[in-house]
Amino acid sequence: MRKFNIRKVLDGLTAVSAAASASSAAQQQQAGNRETEIQETLQSEHFQLCKTVRHGFPYQPSALAFDPVQKILAIGTQTGALRLFGRPGVECYCQHDNGAAVIQLQFLINEGALVSALADDTLHLWNLRQKRPAILHSLKFNRERITFCHLPFQSKWLYVGTERGNIHIVNVESFTLSGYVIMWNKAIELSSKSHPGPIVHISDNPMDEGKLLIGFESGTVVLWDLKSKKADYRYTHDEAIHSVAWHHEGKQFICSHSDGTLTIWNVKSPTKPFQTITPHGKQLKDGKKPEPCKPILKVEYKTTRAGEPFIILSGGLSYDTIGRRPCLTVMHGKSTAVLEMDYSIVDFLTLCETPYPNDFQEPYAVVVLLEKDLVLIDLAQNGYPIFENPYPLTIHESPVTCCEYFADCPVDLIPALYSVGARQKRQGYSKKEWPISGGNWGLITQSYPEIIITGHADGSIKFWDASAITLQVLYKLKTAKVFEKSRNKDDRPNTDIVDEDPYAIQIISWCPESRMLCIAGVSAHVIIYRFSKQEVTTEVIPMLEVRLLYEINDVESPDGEQVPPLPTPGTGSNPQSIVPQSHPSTSSSSSDGLRDNVPCLKVKNSPLKQSPGYQIELVIQLVWVSGEPPQQITSLAVNSAYGLVVFGNCNGIAMVDYLQKTVLLNLGTIELYGSNDPYRREPRSPRKTRQPSGAGLCDINEGTMVPEDRCKSPTSDVKDNSFSRSRSSSVTSIDKESREAISALHFCETFTRKTDTSPSPCLWVGTTLGTVLVIVLNLPPGGEQRLLQPVIVSPSGTILRLKGAILRMAFLDTTGSLVPPAHEPWREHNVPEDKDEKDKSKKRRPVSVSPSSSQEISENQYAVICSEKQAKVISLPSQNCIYKQNITETSFVLRGDIVSLSNSICLACFCANGHIMTFSLPSLRPLLDVYYLPLTNMRIARTFCFTNNGQALYLVSPTEIQRLTYSQETCENLQEMLGELFTPVETPEAPNRGFFKGLFGGGAQSLDREELFGESASGKASRSLAQHIPGPGGIEGVKGAASGVVGELARARLALDERGQKLGELEEKTAAMLYSADSFSKHAHEMMLKYKDKKWYQF
């Protein structure tokens, strides 16, 4: 496994800040010149932005295709996306530029190419022989709408049916139209007075390529003789047709109709159907016709050598089955199986052993593309079990409400999560291997573990292994199971602050080293989890209730009545501690009948069995206060070394000791300031009225934003702001200064005051008004003393100011390396410790893995603070601002993260105006500024996150995660890491005609289509009918497609050209092979990729 080569940068290169000139005076002060000694190694050439991979289910799917030889599946969507799937781990995403819906896909089987037909009447030829597929040719129809396409196996002529009922023929090599056209008025009866409707089906007779079966929507089917250019037979039915399928012997075909019937026709008996079947119709007595059913949208007719044929169909249920889920029906002999699906069926395909339509099909599986899922059914096993889906298509199982991304995690984490997640797997899947098995994996050049955590609307949390551009679910945690569920709406207590999804996850705080997990939910609840490999039963779920609601009056005039502020110590040595307050739920309503002291959710009071994995340590809930619901939580942090969790909202902040299960701090935001409040606000009694609290988090799926709101800040603008981070509107009437929410929290060991001589544990608090406040933590000794003595929490008096809401804080040591928050190493806490372990735990100190060996008294630190508008680097303990960077004037930062890259660190920001920026640390030099994508909805705002090693992601649609990189090195290695879709596979041999069939006829009849459709025979097509557009596929694309798609002369010419060309990576690896004598009439190029060099072969 090859690791990245870290670029060497000139020694002695000293960082110079673009914004440092404004702060040069500050540099000369008490902080001294120490900060200029830090050598920054990151340069702008280390950065490059590119998309890497897209995971998840294709959003709004519309088309499906399968290559039975290459074993590759293609899915097209309503937004013009194309997703290709091979073996697990081989996936590819492409996009049609115009974004029109994909209406049909057709593989050039075993050729490494695909044709897509779009709703804007364009056809595109994709080359799949390169790692990132590209369009080779496009054809835009100007006068007719495309409705159906058909490409016979091993043919280069594509039949294109239109809305007008005509059929045009496209040469897929040159992507030009043939002069041969089948006009609708020639195909139907001359006596017919009405138009037969659009083309809904085209296929050639499996036994005679010269006969084309054409289905018109109105119910007419025509068997057209291509050579004589006339209709052999016309089959009329009075019900509209949805689909048609052949029996492999070419003597019968089956049609599905809009009244829920199937008609089977003998080719030579056009007057009436050989058989009519209503699969789901109730058979009435007296020989009457069954009642009509819903339309059968698609039917497939597949034969087996050993037994009865399969008839597989979607739709066709009777109209009285209201509320029944969509079904796929499998008819095999006398048995009919109705398979219910969770979502409506978009399309399905039967997978067969042979690509030849004139052989026994031997179906073995059915791929069913649903609106929000992909299901594979095993036809060979009794009961038709489904295959276990190995692709990461369940991201949207419940709508994603937040996500976090962790690169470079501890190496033991993924195996630990996988082992507990393996027990959650469902049973009853097919025993067979996943049949979509094409392509090859890329080379793994990244050697570090990556984990993505997604929080969902139903309260579930999923952990995903995201290492090396793949994605696999590891473990799922259901946070809602700790709460009592109301059986129906009438049962529900009137305490919900959201109407739907009361368990939705809003914030995730996770410490990978200690494996402590903390979540904040939409119902103002916080749950702390520990990781354990042991199953336990918790008799009583530990819980705390916190009463956190403070409101304020602004003091506009000096004669206003003023309540004295809380005394707050300055920088004295004996600060007054804040008295901890806990409010148990004693009453459900206050004296005036208003709801009071009750949480929004009810914790179960029965014993809870907890499986191995994440187990509840403590549930904390904010309670109603005098008829006012608790405000949703806006920030959250947990620290395993201190045993503390802290959270805040627009009313204030609360800190809890989860080891002792006590509330240490419960303050309104203004009370944090004490007498230092710059806005001179005062507490007042809570309002008595309750205002609506806004919808749940699930509008993240499709919430779109008004254009004029794009440049407003999510937190600092009050009026009608769709970006408000606190989803509740019960404070929006209070003006700007008074609405100050807690927006960032960071535990650390640093200097809390200017006079400090050594760092100590503390909490840094950031607010939406750009204030940073520091709270000192006085922790008791470890071991048993930690559980007996109280943690003392006191304000430090330190206040720092930035423009815009605070988003992120981090700390650097004297060498400029990141100082991570202290953490406890993970240990199994459900197993009693032996004596030696107890002694060890007494001595165990929290670890803060700073690259500097120790924090000497004389050494200083740097606080990095990022707000919505600017970033500052502040020297500690002097509190001098040594670097400042105004990130944006007209927009605001949505996400800022301090991340490591190439053995250094930087600040990465994503702005609402679509820009991604990075800045060096500590000097805040701009290193990257790229316009990536405009913020069009809340989903992107809520889910965008950066992590280490140049990785980032966001939810690009309700069902898909888009990953990207801002690292030059990853961009360079990406080509190697991507899987390969096309692999050289020999096409199976054609079925043997047999001696008697060869002697007396009756076998498959071939057709020289070139003779019929070529320019010499049919002339040129009208230029105004369609316009050819060359694709951006490039030379590599032309070569890739050449092997199968172009004719013999073109292949030979290309082979000669190839030998003469020196094309970089292909140079030393070009070779040719000649196969045995029976393949003398065929030539094909094979492309294999080893490292970066491609091999081409001829045979």
Kindly report, residue by residue over 871-895, the tens digit of the pLDDT. Answer: 999 999 999 999 999 999 999 999 9
- Please give the structure tokens belonging to residue 172: 């897929």
Cβ atoms of 946 and 49 within 8 Å: the answer is no
Assess whether pLDDT exceeds 60 at residue 1008.
Answer: yes
The more confident residue out of 933 and 1033 is: 933
Task: Identify the pLDDT of residue 319.
Answer: 83
Q: In degrees rounded to 5, what are phi and psi of residue 926?
A: -65, 130
Confidence label for 141 from pLDDT (cuts 50, 70 and 90): very high
Task: Identify the pLDDT of residue 191.
Answer: 66
Question: How far apart, in Å, are the Cα atoms of 502 and each of 320, 406, 460, 516, 695?
Answer: 35, 27, 12, 23, 10
Task: Identify the pLDDT of residue 206.
Answer: 93
Q: Work out the average pLDDT over 712-725.
A: 38
Confidence label for 1003 from pLDDT (cuts 50, 70 and 90): low
- Please give the structure tokens belonging to residue 511: 């410490």
Q: In degrees rounded to 5, what are phi and psi of residue 686?
A: -65, 150
Assess whether pLDDT exceeds 90 at residue 466.
Answer: yes
Element (H, E) at 302: strand 296-302
The more confident residue out of 428 and 387 is: 387
Confidence label for 147 from pLDDT (cuts 50, 70 and 90): very high
Confidence label for 217 from pLDDT (cuts 50, 70 and 90): very high
Assess whether pLDDT exceeds 50 at residue 1079.
Answer: no
Q: What angle do CA 594, 600, 601 make, to 5 degrees?
A: 140
Q: What is the Cβ-side half-sphere exposure of residue 988, based on CA atoms within 13 angstroms?
A: 17
Interatomic CA distance for residues 376 and 368, integer angstroms: 6
Highest-confidence range of 179-188, 727-736, 1088-1097, by mean pLDDT?
179-188
- The neighbouring-strand residues paired with 241 are 257
Interatomic CA distance for residues 1084 and 1099, integer angstroms: 6
Mean pLDDT for all residues in the chain: 80
Cβ contacts of residue 417 below 8 Å, gap of 6+? 451, 463, 465, 474, 475, 613
Q: Which residues of 702-741 are buried (b: 16+ CB within 10 A; e: fewer)?
A: eeebeeeebbbbbbbebeebbbbbbbbebbbebeeebbbb
Interatomic CA distance for residues 76 and 102, integer angstroms: 5
Q: Work out the average pLDDT over 590-606.
A: 80
3-state DSSP helix/strand/coil percent for the chain, to nearest 5? 10, 40, 50
Assess whether pLDDT exceeds 60 at residue 775.
Answer: yes
Cβ contacts of residue 418 below 8 Å, gap of 6+? 465, 474, 475
Task: Identify the pLDDT of residue 936.
Answer: 76
Element (H, E) at 673: helix 669-673
Helices (H) and strands (E) in the chain, counts: 13, 63
Task: Identify the pLDDT of residue 1030.
Answer: 87
Neighbours of 491 (CB within 10 A): 9
Lowest pLDDT segment from 11-20, 305-314, 775-784: 11-20
- Please give the structure tokens belonging to residue 686: 């809570």
Task: Identify the pLDDT of residue 835.
Answer: 52
The more confident residue out of 422 and 350 is: 350
Interatomic CA distance for residues 332 and 556, integer angstroms: 82
* Per-position DSSP letters for 919-930, written without gaps between them: EETTT--EEEEE
Model pLDDT for residues 522-581, shown as the tens digit of each residue: 999 999 999 999 999 999 999 999 998 765 554 433 333 333 333 333 333 333 333 333
Lowest pLDDT segment from 589-593, 652-656, 1013-1017, 1029-1033: 589-593
Our CA dihedral for 165, 166, 167, 170, rounded to 10 degrees, sits at -120
Q: What angle do CA 706, 712, 713 make, to 5 degrees?
A: 130
Task: Identify the pLDDT of residue 994.
Answer: 55
Cβ atoms of 185 and 196 within 8 Å: the answer is no
Using alpha carbons, select from 519, 406, 499, 408 the residue that is nearest to residue 459. Answer: 519
Element (H, E) at 645: strand 644-648
Task: Identify the pLDDT of residue 134.
Answer: 94
- Long-range interactions of 1080-1086: CB distance < 8 A, separation 24+: 1083/1043, 1083/1048, 1083/1051, 1083/1052, 1083/1055, 1084/1043, 1084/1044, 1084/1051, 1085/1039, 1085/1040, 1085/1042, 1085/1043, 1085/1051, 1085/1054, 1085/1055, 1086/984, 1086/1043
Assess whether pLDDT exceeds 90 at residue 75.
Answer: yes
Task: Identify the pLDDT of residue 859.
Answer: 72
Chain-centroid distance of CA 395 in Å reads 6
Question: Sign of the C-alpha dihedral, residues 603, 607, 613, 615?
Answer: positive
Model pLDDT for residues 157-216, shown as the tens digit of each residue: 999 999 999 999 999 998 999 989 999 988 887 767 788 999 999 999 999 999 999 999
Question: Sign of the C-alpha dihedral, residues 1064, 1068, 1074, 1075?
Answer: negative
Confidence label for 286 from pLDDT (cuts 50, 70 and 90): low
Chain-centroid distance of CA 290 in Å reads 46
Using alpha carbons, select from 625, 661, 652, 633 the residue that is nearest to residue 739. Answer: 652
Confidence label for 1042 from pLDDT (cuts 50, 70 and 90): very low
Strands 543-546 and 613-622: parallel
Q: Work out the average pLDDT over 75-99.
A: 94
Interatomic CA distance for residues 221 and 240, integer angstroms: 11
Interatomic CA distance for residues 319 and 327, integer angstroms: 13
Interatomic CA distance for residues 474 and 462, integer angstroms: 7
The percent of residues in the chain predicted with pLDDT above 90, rounded, is: 59
Task: Identify the pLDDT of residue 489.
Answer: 54
Element (H, E) at 671: helix 669-673
- Long-range interactions of 332-341: CB distance < 8 A, separation 24+: 332/307, 332/308, 333/307, 333/308, 336/279, 337/384, 338/280, 339/377, 339/384, 341/368, 341/370, 341/373, 341/375
* Per-position DSSP letters for 954-987, written without gaps between them: EEEETTEEEEEEEEHHHHHHHHHHS-BS----PP
Q: Which residues of 742-779 are buried (b: 16+ CB within 10 A; e: fewer)?
A: bbbbbbbbbbbbeebeebbbbbbbbbbbbbbbbbbbeb
Assess whether pLDDT exceeds 70 at residue 46.
Answer: yes
Interatomic CA distance for residues 274 and 263, integer angstroms: 7
- The neighbouring-strand residues paired with 374 are 369
Interatomic CA distance for residues 961 and 510, integer angstroms: 20
- Please give the structure tokens belonging to residue 353: 């052993």
Cβ contacts of residue 540 below 8 Å, gap of 6+? 605, 607
User: Environment class of residue 15 by beta-carbon count within 10 Å: exposed (0-12), middle (13-18) or buried (19+)?
Assistant: buried
Lowest pLDDT segment from 111-115, 153-157, 267-271, 1081-1085: 1081-1085
The more confident residue out of 582 and 218 is: 218
